[in-house]
């Protein structure tokens, strides 16, 4: 199992024996984090690679811990997954993002889609669809301003249930991206059956692009696949101009990474829609 904080969701697979005292303490605190208002959403911009135009944001959760300070997802998402707290955390993020969009709209700012990371345990919940729809309606935000990021394993494990769910959300305009694409499975049969809009090329393939022949081959293959299936490609971890240019030449559509901007609180976004 991965232990790097990605949303791989080992909810039902975890061994309780792995729990240490500090994990139990952390769990107790994480349980209170939502009601105590300690979670924050940071936003990282997404751009059209060719001209840098803003196309959206990804929402990334952080925890302002009363004792341990500012915690990154790697410090608490794995535990949230093991304990099932990820379900409420995930819904909190969706709600916070839609509330933020409603606030932007009230300020007269044009909206762009915000992508939210979804975990398998959340998708399995029977109330997922009504809760997402309820949140959209409550905040008066159209579905097209919400994108859900799911991982390959989530699409393979329960294709029928996921298919029904994602198709229903798509009718509301909600889009679906596959996160960390290329790192999960070699069986890609699910791609032609599921309603996917965007392939997010994992940053491990993007990092050394200008020099790595292997990564160049993988990224070209993903772009070709996406073009054939009429999906958008978004490269993660675009850190420099050389990489951006390589990706433009290869036909990649969108990018995200420190080369454009780091994730920041909503107040720190510059809203450069030019
Ligand atoms: P991810 O979804 O793959 O998110 C991208 C991660 O890469 C983020 O780390 C982001 O800050 C980082 N990143 C962005 N651009 C660059 C770059 O140019 N270079 C490098 N080296 N890194 C870059 P972060 O915020 O620490 O999040 C880590 C993971 O935690 C995420 O990976 C995601 O799987 C998970 N996560 C974050 N927020 C949530 C959430 O609300 N729900 C769930 N279920 N998982 C979340
Ligand atoms: Ca993501
Ligand atoms: Ca990713
Ligand atoms: Ca394309």
Q: Give the number of whichever ligand sits closest to the CA of residue 229.
A: 4
**Ligand 1: centre distance to CA 61 (Å):** 8
What's the pLDDT score for residue 76?
A: 94
- Can you tell me which residue has the tokens 């790097």? 4
Residue 25: how many CB atoms within 10 A of its CB?
10
For 18-43, what is the mean pLDDT? 88
For 104-132, what is the mean pLDDT? 94
- For residue 199, pLDDT over 80 is answered with yes
Q: Which atom of ligand 1 is nearest to the CA of 119?
A: 44
Task: Answer whether 255 contacts ligand 1 (Cβ < 6 A).
Answer: no
Please provide residue 259's backbone torsions phi and psi, each rounded to the nearest 5 degrees.
Answer: -65, -25
Q: Give the number of whichever ligand sits closest to the CA of residue 225.
A: 4
User: In this prediction, does ipTM exceed 0.90?
Assistant: yes
Cα–Cα distance for residue pair 242/171, rounded to 1 Å: 39
**Ligand 3: centre distance to CA 108 (Å):** 30
Contact 156, 127 (CB under 8 A): no
- For residue 187, pLDDT over 80 is answered with no
Q: Which atom of ligand 1 is nearest to the CA of 60?
A: 38
Cα–Cα distance for residue pair 227/205, rounded to 1 Å: 18
Task: Answer whether 73 contacts ligand 1 (Cβ < 6 A).
Answer: yes
> How much of the chain exceeds pLDDT 70, in percent?
91
pTM of the predicted protein model: 0.92
What's the pLDDT score for residue 2?
A: 41
Q: How confident is the model at residue 5 (pLDDT cuts 50, 70, 90)?
A: very low
């Amino acid at each position: 199992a991965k232990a790097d904080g990605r949303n791989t969701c080992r909810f039902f697979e975890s061994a309780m024996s792995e729990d240490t005292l500090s994990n139990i303490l952390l769990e107790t605190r994480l349980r209170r984090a939502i009601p105590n208002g300690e979670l924050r959403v940071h936003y990282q911009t997404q751009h059209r690679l060719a001209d840098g135009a803003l196309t959206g944001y990804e929402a990334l959760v952080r925890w302002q811990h009363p004792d341990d300070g500012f915690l990154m997802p790697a410090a608490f998402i794995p535990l949230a997954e093991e304990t099932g707290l990820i379900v409420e955390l995930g819904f909190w993020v969706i709600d916070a993002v839609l509330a933020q969009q409603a606030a932007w709209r009230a300020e007269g700012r044009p909206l762009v889609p915000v992508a939210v990371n979804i975990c398998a345990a959340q998708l399995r919940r029977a109330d997922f669809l009504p809760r997402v729809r309820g949140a959209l309606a409550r905040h008066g935000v159209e579905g097209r301003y919400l994108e859900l990021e799911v991982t390959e394993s989530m699409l393979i494990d329960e294709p029928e249930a996921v298919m029904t769910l994602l198709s229903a959300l798509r009718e509301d305009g909600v889009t679906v991206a596959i996160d960390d694409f290329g790192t999960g499975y070699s069986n890609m049969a699910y791609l032609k059956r599921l309603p996917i809009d965007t392939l997010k090329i994992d940053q491990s393939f993007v990092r050394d692009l200008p020099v790595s022949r292997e990564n160049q081959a993988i990224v070209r293959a993903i772009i070709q696949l996406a073009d054939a299936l009429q999906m958008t490609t978004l490269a993660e971890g675009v850190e420099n101009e050389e990489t951006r240019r390589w990706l433009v030449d290869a036909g990649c559509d969108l990018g995200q990474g420190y080369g454009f901007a780091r994730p920041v609180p909503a107040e720190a976004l510059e809203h450069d829609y030019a």
